[in-house]
Every structure is written in C-alpha cells, then in structure tokens.
A and B are shown apart, each in its own frame.
Chain A
C-alpha cells in the first residue's frame, strides 16, 4: 500500500507488479505457518502416543460408570461419557441463564438504588456493591454453600412450610380465584387510570388488596356457588405441610399436567402470537391516530387469562406429585438442590454488584438537561425515565453488561468446589480423570465456552444495535 502516494491513484501496471510480490511473500509465509503447525501437531501427537496418552475421541462413546445427581436429561451410570458431557453442558447453561436473569434484576435494582434520594437505600446499595465486588467469588460461593447448609436440619427433622393441599376441585377453585383476581386487577387499573385524569389517585397496593380479597372470597364461595360440589372451603386448603426445606434441598409439589399440558402449550403459544399482534396494532394506532393503550397490561391479560381458563377447565385431570420422606431422603415433587441454589445465589449476587455499577454509570451518563427538557415538555417522571433516560442509558450499559454475562457464564465453572455437576465438574473433573484424555477434553471444554460466549456476544450485539440511538 505504500506505493499509493499522496497523489491518490497509483498507475495500474505498477500496482499489479507490487501485488505479485506481496502475494508471493504472503503465500510463502502462509506455507511456513501451515508447515510449522503441522510439525507441532505431529510432534505432540507422536509424543502423546509415546507416553500412552490417548489421542482419539473414541472415549466419548464408552460407558461412563459414574452417577450424576442432577440432570436435565435422563442419565445413569450406564450412559456414555458423551451423554455425561451433555448433562454437564445443560447444567452449565441452565445455571448461567437463571443467574443472568437474577443478576440483571438485582443489578438494576441496586444500581438505581445507589442513585436514590433515600439515604438509607443509597447507603445500603453502596455497602452491597463494595462488599460483594471486592471479595473473591470462590470465597463467596463457599460462604453461601455453608450459609445455606449450616442452619438447615437434616431430612428427618425437616422444616415443613405451610403448603396447599391441592385436591382436584380445589385447583379449580384456585384457578377461579386467580382469574377473578386478574380481572379485578385489570378493572382496577382501568378505573385508576380514569380517576387519575380527574386528579384523583388511589395507591396501587390498595387496588391489589381489594383484588386479593375479592379473589379469596371467590375461591371460598365460588365452588359452592358454581356447584362444583366441594364441601370444603378455602381454609381447608392450608391444612397440610407439603413443602419441605432441609439440608438436602427445597422440595415442593410438582404439578402433573397430563393432557392439560399439551392444550396449555397450544393456548399459550396462540395467545403469545395474539399479544404480539396486538402490540403491533397498538403501535400503529399510536403512530397514526395518536391512540394510547396500556399495552403492557393488555398483553399480559391476553397471555395469562386464556391459560388460566384452560387450567380451570382441565382442573379435574390435574394432579400434584408430593415430596415424601422415604428412607434417608425425600422423593417426588420438584427439588432445588442446595448446591444449585448456592451457586445461582453466589453468581447472581456477585455479578449483580458489577451490573449495579454499570447501570449507575449508564444513568449518570444521560445529562441532566435531557431530564429537564422532558419535564419541560410535560412528561411525567416515569415517562421521562422510560422514554428519555433509559433508552439513552442503555447505549452505555449494554456493551459492559455483555461482559458481565460472559463472566457469569465462565465463573459458573467454580461450581466444581461446591459439588454442582456443571460442565467443568463433570467433564474436566470426573471424565478427564477416568479416561486420561486430557488434551481432547480440555480442548472440547474450551471450545464449548468459546461458543457459548460468542453466542451471548452476538445476541447482545444485536440487542445493542436495536437499542442504539439513530445517529443524525
């Protein structure tokens, strides 16, 4: 390129000549690199063979012979190492996904709290951020694991939490209550909106309280009124203890949906499409005709209400799988393991402390003039935040936020120390040890983390593009 002088365009023949020379040099260099890589790889493979270190990937098909306590796919000691890999991978992905959601929620709350006018909230948020982000994550994981385990009794002295004795008809009553509550709340939201126009306002919690009371009343009397033939009222729902907490985890009854599950899936899918269509229509109506709808409320109602109706109608075929103490442990129901809980808790709290600082920086990066201009235009405080401050803050927030998401995913590998079977614990731990295939396993694991991180980055970059301000 040096041939291209200040004059701008170089004469075509001389350029072609330079290209040939440069190309041959580059070609030679590439050959050299390829040869070097080939030699290096060959050398390693030869040395590995000389030391009887396995060099193939055949081990992935061999029987694993060890057990894993929590798995999202079916797995037993007779499964293959390859399947053990997927068990670990799915556990990693699950923990990362849940951790990211919680870290984001906590991070945003704490970040906003740091800027709060409330002295106590701001100071507490500061203390949280400074303590959490300035201590090593591994120690925090140990701490949470111990803190989660230590105070809890064994399974035979389990803590029993008041739970719902969901017999079939009562599920119907409950669903009815939920439907009633939702309708009530929507109605109230609407009324409140109307009242606000006339400068009358009623606090939201009052609305919620009224709805709850209405729903409970409906749940108590509803079945009798509708004639479902239930002799027991609402209070009977609270008779038994079906939720258990001990040092083996938290056990809650699991719904057995049966054929209702399939219907539910279809209905939720359809209502999601409906909600999207509505949101699209509402946007068009706003831009063309200036009509403003409470889009969030109505979309939620479109998704939730049909689902509740389906559950209500099918409540006779619903059942619950209750956890029961058998021998040393509880069986049945849904179980949250202490290891998983400590890991998600530790990762979320740790990452949230960094996200809080990112959010704070993002909000502070929006100049005060913007807020003032917004209020000069007559925008309310929430509208200012939603329409002016947050969109501009997001530009600053998203790129470092991506980093934190990647960190959280990678940090989940520290689970190896608290016995949670994620990718590193299962694959680089047990499988590596049983097979001795060190280089293959480390390479696969590194490649997996690379792919996860790149996928997260791509998703966040797309999101970033959407959020970026249109430059003028």
Chain B
C-alpha cells in the first residue's frame, strides 16, 4: 500500500529523472562512468557552499576560493591539468544531496558532515575527511559566560536542516537544559538574527563560527565558547557505485596531505621531480604508474601540487594564518605534528 502511494507521488518526476537514468545506473569495474562524463563535459561539476568563508565562497573578483573549492580544483587539476576546469554549483544545505544523487553534480565538496545515515540511507560515500570539525557556540562577550553549559534558557539561532540542528537538540537534551531554537533557511539569516540580538547564541561547526564572526557588525564583541559538542568530520561526498571515481576524489586529497608530509610545496614541486626520495618520486609519478589504474595521467599528484598546493598551503591560504579567519590548525595538523590528518601512502 505504502509503496503504491509512493509510486503515485513519484509520477511527476518520471520525465525528469527517467531521461538521465540509463547512463548512470550501470557500473563497470575498470572504468568510471563519472570520469568519462566529466572528460566529455570538459569540466568537473562540483557542488560547493554558496558563501562560507574558508570553505567555499567567491572572492571579490568572483573567483571561487576555499578549502572545499581547492579539493575540487585538485580533482580537476589531476584530470585536466587545469584547476579552472571546474563548474562550481552553489548548493543550499537542503538540496545538496539530491543534486548529487540525481547526477547534477559529481562531487559535493560543501563542508558536509560524514554520517552513517548519509552513507547508508542516502547511498553516498565520503571518501575522506578534509577538515576535522566540531560544533560550537558563539555568544556575546558581555554575557560573561565561559561554558556552553551555562546556556540554559537561551535562545539559539541555527541554520535549519543540518546535523547542527540535531546536535543542538541532543546537547540540550543530554544536559537537561531548556532552550529555544530559531531555525532559518540559510546561515546568512541565522547570523543576521543573532547579530540583531534575537538570539543569545549562534551555533554551527566551529570553523563556521570563525568564518561567520568576521561578517558580524562588531566581531570583537563575540566569543566562541570552548565546548565542542559534536564530531563533525567534514569531507567531500560522491555517489555509490563508481569506485574508481570514489578513489580519484580520495587520492586527490591524499596527494595533498602526502605532499605536505613530504615537504613538497607549490614552489618546490618542480625541483622535487629530481628528488631521490622514493616516496616523493612515487607521489609525483616519476616512479611507478599508479595514476593510469585510475584512468588519470601518472603525473596527477604533480599537477595537483603545482596548481593547488599541498594541504598545509591550502589550509593556510583559506583558513589559517594566511587568511582573514586565522583558525588554529588544531587537530587538523599532520599526524607527524600532533594532529590526526593522515593519508595512506602512495605505493
């Protein structure tokens, strides 16, 4: 009975989805239909955040920039040897997964949290975590509170339809505190309402708090509370059923992390081609031909570092000391430097 009702409601979408169906439904072990589609289109379609400083936002010249944007550029660099062959499609939190499921975009790099529901129920895969985040709270300095546990009875502004909204409910429920949630369609409106005093606190991933703080009327009046109330492994997402494509996205990120670990930077990547270190030679495709197995050229990692830089450079440029946000690297430091950012070796 329920199924048949679903059929009836589904009818309207038939024409739209039906036409795109056959090309995507089938999978072949050695080949990647998504890669073929991307090569044919001449550009990678990448879903990004419409405006989150540090992750995905057009700069004042209209050029997309951010950590997630860099990941898409890295994939494009590996495929096309051109970081600009990316079609950036701004996605709201609401329609991002549908867009990926229906094939409108092929990579979703939109500071999405890797969750079980998204992989198990929505049929997606998160190849890597490119930013280890956690949800926090921002409050006015003059409230004189030092902990999120003092937020009982507070009004909290939040963007709706994200894991943030659920974590918020969990946090107050777990600590047996009352609160009032005001959920807005976009983070922009939520931040504006917080700025106007409608809410005592604004909550999102900690990186987002720093990013949004620079937009406030007087950024110095606001503090980020120390509590991190959730695990938010942020990363790109792809559709299930195209393992080669999954690997391409995963290794684009791993190449950046490995490059940082091996000291390969945008500036020295050409010299490093002559390096005698076997790990560097394998990474840059001087030795062995791992790229070919993924259907991309062997110098894929060289291209990524040359055009986009290593992970540390990207982090620094978008989020860290080289950016307006000045976010501490924290747990996102390399595993060799006390963090948890770790990539499988190229061998």
Task: Give the B-binding residues of A (Cβ under 8 A).
Answer: 37, 39-45, 47-48, 50-58, 65-69, 77-78, 146, 149-150, 152, 154, 247-248, 326-329, 331, 338-339, 416-419, 421, 425, 429-430, 432-434, 436, 438-440, 443
8 Å CB interface, B5-57 against A: 5-15, 17-18, 21, 24-25
A-B contact count (CB 8 A): 166
- Other-chain residue from A44, A56, A418 in contact with B13 (beta carbon distance below 8 A): A44
> Do residues B101 and A328 form an inter-chain contact, with CB atoms below 8 A?
no
Please state if B182 and A69 are interface contacts (CB–CB under 8 Å): yes
Task: Point out the residues of chain B lying under 8 angstroms from A417, CB to CB.
Answer: 184-185, 189
Considering the chains assembled together, what is the distance between the CA atoms of A42 and B3 in angstroms? 11
A55-B155 in contact (CB<8A): no
Chain B, Cβ-Cβ closest to A153? B197
- Decide if A430 touches B183 in the complex (CB within 8 Å): yes
B161 to chain A, nearest CB (A): 3
For B155, give its contact among A52, A248, A326 (CB under 8 Å).
Answer: A248
In the assembly, what is the distance between CA of A58 and CA of B2, in Å? 8
Residue of B nearest to A42 (CB): B7
**Chain B contacts with A in 247-279, Cβ cutoff 8 A:** none
Cβ-defined contact, A51 with B101, below 8 A = yes
How far is it, in angstroms, between the C-alpha of A44 and the C-alpha of B201 when the chains are bound? 43
Please determine whether A329 and B153 come into contact, CB atoms closer than 8 angstroms: yes
Is A67 a contact of B168 with CB atoms below 8 Å?
yes
Of the candidate stretches B71-79, B91-99, B335-343, the one touching chain A is B91-99
Can you list 6 residue pairs at the A/B interface with Cβ under 8 Å? A53-B123, A67-B179, A69-B180, A328-B151, A418-B184, A419-B157
Picked from A57, A248, A421, the residue with its CB within 8 Å of the CB of B183 is A421
Known contacts A149-B197, A339-B182, A443-B9; decide if A433 and B93 are in contact (CB<8 Å). Answer: yes
Q: Which residues of the partner chain A approach B21 to less than 8 Å between Cβ atoms?
A: 43, 47, 50
If A51-B101, A57-B2, A150-B196 touch, whether A432 touches B94 (CB-CB below 8 Å) is yes
8 additional A-B pairs beyond A53-B98, A67-B169, beta carbons within 8 Å, are A41-B10, A42-B7, A57-B5, A58-B2, A66-B183, A67-B168, A329-B180, A433-B94
B residues less than 8 Å from A419 (CB atoms): 157, 182-184, 189-190, 193
- Whether the Cβ atoms of B153 and A326 lie closer than 8 Å is yes
Q: Is the Cβ of B11 less than 8 Å from the Cβ of A44?
A: yes
Q: Is the CB of A328 within 8 A of B185?
A: no
* Chain B residues within 8 Å of chain A by Cβ, number: 60
In Å, the complex CA distance between A419 and B21 comes to: 37
Interface residue? B215 (CB, 8 A): no
Given that A53-B101, A56-B6 are known contacts, is A430 also in contact with B161, CB under 8 Å in the complex? yes
**Complexed CA–CA distance, A152 and B197 (Å):** 9
Contacts of B165 in A (CB 8 A): 66, 430
Q: Indicate which residue in A41, A50, A150, A339 contacts B7 across the interface (CB closer than 8 Å).
A: A41
Interface presence of B324 (CB below 8 A): no
| Contact assessment for B180 and A146 in the assembled complex, using a CB-CB cutoff below 8 Å | no
B323 interface residue per 8 A CB criterion: no
Q: Is there a chain A Cβ closer than 8 Å to B154's Cβ?
A: yes
In B69-119, which residues have CB < 8 Å from any A CB? 93-94, 97-98, 101-102
Residue from B124, B153, B170, B189 in contact with A327 in the complex, judged by beta carbons closer than 8 Å: B153
Q: Are B166 and A66 in contact (CB under 8 A)?
A: yes
Contact B155 A41 (CB under 8 A): no
Q: Does any Cβ of A come within 8 Å of B181's Cβ?
A: yes
A67 and B181 contacting across the interface, CB-CB below 8 Å: yes
C-alpha gap A419/B160 in the complex (Å) = 9
Task: Evaluate contact between A52 and B240: CB separation under 8 angstroms.
Answer: yes
Q: For residue A68, which residues in chain B have a CB less than 8 angstroms away from its CB?
A: 181
